[in-house]
Structure 1
Amino acid sequence: MSDAEAALDAELGAVRPDLALPYAAALPGARAAVLARLWRGLTHEPLPWVARRERAGGDGVTLLLADGRRLHGPAVDPYATDVPVEQVWLDGRPYDRPARLMSALAVPHSAAFAAELDHSAASLALSRAGQPTVAGAPATSWEWEQSVVDGHPFHPNCRSRPGFTAADQLAYGPEHRQVVPLGLAPVDEALVVGEWPERFRDGGRVLVPVHPWQAAHVLKCPLGEVIEAHPLMSLRTLALADDGAHVKTALSARLTSSVRDISVYSIETSAIVSDFMAEVASRTDGLLHVTRTLGAVTAGSPDLAAVLRESPERYADTATGERVVPVGALAATGLPGSPSWLADFSRLALTVCLRLLDLGVALEAHGQNLLVVLSPSGAPVRLVYRDLADIRVSPARLARHGVAAPAMTGRIITDDEPTLRRKLFGALITGTLGATAGSTPVLREALAAAVRDLPPTADLATLTEGPVPTKALTLMRLSPERPGDIWAELPTPLR
C-alpha cells in the first residue's frame, strides 16, 4: 500500500476493523478509476510539457513529452465514464497507480498533486468498501444524492479529502449515509442577509450552523448545541433533518479543486442574486425553478458563514409520484434507460440553459447544481437549479431583452462572451449530459435528436461546431500559481 492507503488502513483498524478487508479489495479498482480520470486529463488538456500527441488507431495514444520521454496508454473517449485504465507506460515502464505515475513524470508541482491522487484513490476505495445496506429505492432527493459513491466523474481528485481521517469520512461523507450533527455557533456581530430563522437565534446573537469538521480543525471550538442533517453530494451542504431545508456550511478543506469556504461577497450578494434569478426563471414557462436563498450569514470570515436555501423537493409534486433527482445521481435511478429518454433530457436541459444564456444568465449546470424533476413514469419534465454563487450575468444581454441587471458588481457580472459560454457549456456538456450519457456515441445520438428542435444561435454553435470548452482539471491542480479556472477544448460530440 502507498502512504495514504496505509494510513487509512491503519485508521480503519482502530475505528472499523470490519472494513479492512473490503477496503484492501477495493484498492485496485479505485486506483484504476483515478488513473482513468488522470489519463483523460493528460490526453486532452493543454499541458505545457506535452509536445505533441500521436494516435495509433486501436493501439491507443502516445504523448511525446518536451524532455523526449514517451507516455503511452489507451485511447480515451473524453466523454466516457466508468471506463477504468489499468496501466499506462512511461518510456516502456508500466504504471498502475496514478500517484506513482505523477511522481515519475516529475513536472512542476507534481509532488503535491501526486499526494492528492494517492489520497483520492485511498478515499475512493474506502467509499466503495463502506457502502451500507439500504433497503428499497431512495424516497427523497438527499437519499438519491447519497447514492453517488465515486464522486466527480472526470476529476482525478474525485474523492480527495485531505485532512479527513477514516473516521471523518465515515461520519461525514454522504456516500456513507450518516446523520451529521451541525453545531450552532453563537455570534454577537454578524452580517445577516434575508430572513434568518428564529430557531437560529439566541436573543441578540445569531447562531451559525457549523460543520463538525470545521469546528474541530479550523475554528477549534466545541460544537455546543447541535441540529441533525443529512450530507449531500457537495459534502458541506446538508439537508436539515427536521424540515428538509438545505444549509451550506463553510468547510475549509480542499475537495477536488477548491477550498470550500463561503466568501463574504457571496453572502452580501445572496439575496440580490436569489431575487433576480427567481424573476429570470419565471421566463422559462415553468421549465426551470431556482431554490431560493432564505437567509445567509457571515461573521466576517469565509471560515464562519452559512447559507440557508429551499429544498429542491418543493418543486416536485411528490404526492403524485414525482421525484427530483440531482443529475449526478441519475445513474443510480437506472436512467437513462433508453436513447429516447436521454434525448428528451438533453432537449430539456439545452432548451432551458440556452434560453437563459440568451437572456443573459450562464448557469454552472453540472451534476451537483442541476436537478431534474421526473414524472411518475420517469420522464424528465422540468429542472431545478441550486447554489447561485457561481453563475455569470451579462448586463448587455439582459438589456437587449429589457431585463434590469441586478444591482451588484463583482465576479458574477460579465459581458465577455467566451466567459459566458465556458461557464455554461463547460458544466452542461461534460459534467451533465456527457456524464449522464457515459460515452461519445451515446451522447452524439441524444444531442443530434435534441438540437434539431433548437434555434441555430451563435451560442448553440459552441456545441454544434465546437470546440466544446471544459475545465482543465488536471492542469488546474498542476498550476497553483494561476488562480481561477483553466480551460481545455474538446471536440464536439456531434462531429
Structure 2
Amino acid sequence: MHRPPTAEAQVAAELAEIRPALLPLYAAGLPGARAAVLTRLWRALAYEPLPWITRRVRGPRGLALWLSDGRALHGPHADPYATTAYVTTVHLGGVPYDDPARLMTDLAVPHGADFAAELGHSAASLALSLAGHPDRPKEWPTRDREWEQRVVDGHPFHPNCRSRPGFSVAEQLAYGPEHGPVVELGTVPVRPEECLLTGSWPEEMRDGGHLLIPVHPWQVEHVLKLPVEGTLPAHPLMSLRTLALPDGPHVKTALTTRLTSSVRDISEYSIGISATLSSFAEDLAARTDGLLHITRTRGAVTAHSPDLAAVLRESPQRFAAPGEYVLPVGALATTDLPDSPAWLAGLMRLALTVGLRLLELGVALEAHGQNLLVVLSATGSPLRLVYRDLADIRISPARLVRHGITPPALTGRVVTDDETALRRKLFGSLVAGALAGAAGSGAALATALETAVRDLPRSPDLTALCEEPLPAKALTLMRLSPRTPGDQWVDLPNPLVLEPDTSGH
C-alpha cells in the first residue's frame, strides 16, 4: 500500500528545492527534534488523564503504562518539569519507537491520527528551526526582539512545540522568528464606520478617511485574499504573529491557523475590552512597588472579523534602563546566566511576589514564558517584571471589592470569582510553565521554590501552591478531545513534595 510522504520527507523535499545548503543541518537535527517532541509527549502520557491509559506503574527501570486494550508502553521515569530532550526511545508492546508520530499512529486511540500528523510536523519544523539557527551568539542581544528570535524550540512542554500547519518550508523561513527575517506586513484600508476601534490609532496607519489595519502576509495569501496597500517592515517575535515595528511598537496580527493548540485569530471580544483592560492593569501594577510594568495597549481594531484585526502595544524595551536587558522568561534558557540555585530562587521570589500579590488583589495573570518578561541588570540579576498581552488574564470582582478596588466594567470570559479557575490560571502558566521552563527539571524547580517561598506573605493562595498538586493544562488531552471546548487540566506532582527522581533527569 502506498503511504503518503512523512512530514520529515516533505520538508526535506522542499528544502532541496529552495535551500539545499540547509539539508545536511536539517538531517543532523532530526534525531534531536524527534527526542524533544517525544519527551513532551511522554510527559503527557505519564501524567495527563487520558481515558485509554488505565494504570501507571513506576519500577526500578522506569515507567510502565497499561493501555485499555491490554498493551503496555514502557519508558524512562518521567520528570513533569524537565525541558531537556531525555526521552529518545519508548517501547510499545516490546517494539522500540523513537518517532513520536509513528508512536501516536500505532497507539491507535481516538483522534490519534490527526494528532500524529501534528507531531510529525512539529518534529520536522523543529529540525528546520535548528538548521536555520545552528549557533547561538555568546554576546547578549541589545534589542528585545533579538532575545525572542533566539528561542528555537517553542513551547517547553507541548508536543506541538513547533507545529505550524499550513506553512510551507519557504514560509517558515520567511516568517519564523528563529530565522531572523524581516516580514513585510501589508495594510488593508477600512472605513472607521466599518470597524470596532478601541484606544487610539496612529496617524501613520491612516490614509485619508480610512484606517490601515496591519495584516500578516501569510494571512493575506491564505485567508483574506484581499488587495493590500503599502508595507510595514517588521521583525517577528516569539509568537510568530506578533511583530516589532522599526520605531518600537509591537503589532499583534490575526493568523488564522493553529499554532501549538490555538487558532491565532483575534476576537471582537478581546478588541472591545482591550482599552479597559490596559488601563485597569496599569493601575493595578502600581500596587506592586515598582516590581511590575504592563505594556500599554495603544490601540486595537477589528473589521468585525477575527481574520482582520490588529492590536498595537508598546514595546517592553521602554522599561529597561541603560545597561539593563529585558527578555521573555522563555528566552532565559538561551543565554548564559549564573548556574546557581540562589539566582533561580531570586527569579522565582520576584515572580511569585508579584503573581501572588495580584492574585490576592483579584487578578490572575497568564504569566507563561512568552507573556512574562524579566528585566535583568548588566550582571544578570533579576530586577523587575514586565507583562504583555492581557487578553487571557482572569479578574475576580469579589476579590477586588474585598480590597477596596472598583472592578472594571467588564463581562465575559475574563471575569470569574471561581477560586480554582483563578489559581489554575496563575499557577499553571507561571509555576508549571514559565518558572519550570527556566528551572529545567523538577529537582531544580523544587530547590528554588523551597527557598523562594520562605519569605513570602502567608496566604491561602500560597498554601495551595505549596501543598496541593500543581495545575497545568492537559495539552495533549486537549488535542485528542476536539469536541470538548475550553481548557482541560492535569494535576502534576507538587515540586515541593516530589518523590526522589531515579531517572537521572
TM-score (norm 2): 0.96
Counterpart pick for 2:93 among 68, 91, 116:
91
Partner of 1:244: 248
Q: Are 2:211 and 1:209 equivalent residues in the alignment?
A: no
Partner of 2:381: 379
CA contact (8 A) 2:251 2:310 kept: yes
Q: Are 2:181 and 1:152 equivalent residues in the alignment?
A: no
Question: Aligned partners of 1:149, 1:336: CA distance in 2, in Å?
Answer: 21
Task: Describe the superposition over 1:319-363 as per-residue Cα deviations: whole angstroms up to 9, x where unpaired.
Answer: 2x0110100000122135311110100000000000000000000
Task: Describe the superposition over 1:10-33 as per-residue Cα deviations: whole angstroms up to 9, x where unpaired.
Answer: 111111111112111111111111
CA contact (8 A) 1:37 1:154 kept: yes
Partner of 1:422: 424
**Corresponding residue SS for 1:12:** helix
Counterpart pick for 2:172 among 147, 150, 169:
169
**Corresponding residue SS for 2:66:** strand
Question: Aligned partners of 1:304, 1:65: CA distance in 2, in Å?
Answer: 44
Question: Aligned partners of 1:456, 1:342: CA distance in 2, in Å?
Answer: 21
**Corresponding residue SS for 1:452:** helix
- The alignment's C-alpha RMSD in Å is 1.2
Q: Are 2:316 and 1:312 equivalent residues in the alignment?
A: yes
| Paired residue type of 1:37 | R
CA contact (8 A) 1:151 1:158 kept: yes
| More displaced 10-residue stretch of structure 1: 482-491 or 388-397 | 482-491
**Corresponding residue SS for 1:208:** strand
Between the aligned residues of both structures, percent identity stands at 67
Task: Describe the superposition over 1:173-204 as per-residue Cα deviations: whole angstroms up to 9, x where unpaired.
Answer: 00001111100111122111101001111111
Partner of 2:49: 46
CA contact (8 A) 1:132 1:176 kept: no
Partner of 1:482: 484
| Paired residue type of 2:165 | P
Partner of 2:129: 127
Q: 1:270 to 1:332 in 2, by over 3 A?
A: same
**Corresponding residue SS for 1:372:** strand
Partner of 1:434: 436
CA contact (8 A) 1:339 1:442 kept: yes
Question: Aligned partners of 2:320, 2:189: CA distance in 1, in Å?
Answer: 35
Q: Within 5 A, what are the aligned runs for 1:144-293?
A: 144-188=147-191, 189-241=194-246, 243-293=247-297
CA contact (8 A) 1:37 1:155 kept: yes
CA contact (8 A) 1:87 1:96 kept: yes
- Residue 83 (structure 1) shift: 2.8
Question: Aligned partners of 1:488, 1:407: CA distance in 2, in Å?
Answer: 32
CA contact (8 A) 2:356 2:462 kept: yes
**Corresponding residue SS for 1:301:** coil
TM-score (norm 1): 0.98
Structure 1 residues not aligned, in runs of 5+: none
| More displaced 10-residue stretch of structure 1: 135-144 or 87-96 | 135-144
- Residue 225 (structure 1) shift: 0.6
| Paired residue type of 1:366 | H
Counterpart pick for 2:360 among 346, 358, 361:
358
Question: Aligned partners of 1:8, 1:134: CA distance in 2, in Å?
Answer: 23
**Corresponding residue SS for 1:117:** helix
Question: Aligned partners of 1:460, 1:443: CA distance in 2, in Å?
Answer: 16
Counterpart pick for 2:17 among 4, 9, 14:
14
Partner of 2:500: none
CA contact (8 A) 2:136 2:150 kept: no
Question: Aligned partners of 2:333, 2:378: CA distance in 1, in Å?
Answer: 17
CA contact (8 A) 1:370 1:386 kept: yes
| Paired residue type of 2:163 | S
Structure 2 residues not aligned, in runs of 5+: 498-505
Question: Aligned partners of 2:325, 2:25: CA distance in 1, in Å?
Answer: 33
- Residue 224 (structure 1) shift: 3.1
Question: Aligned partners of 1:29, 1:52: CA distance in 2, in Å?
Answer: 29
- Residue 134 (structure 1) shift: 6.8
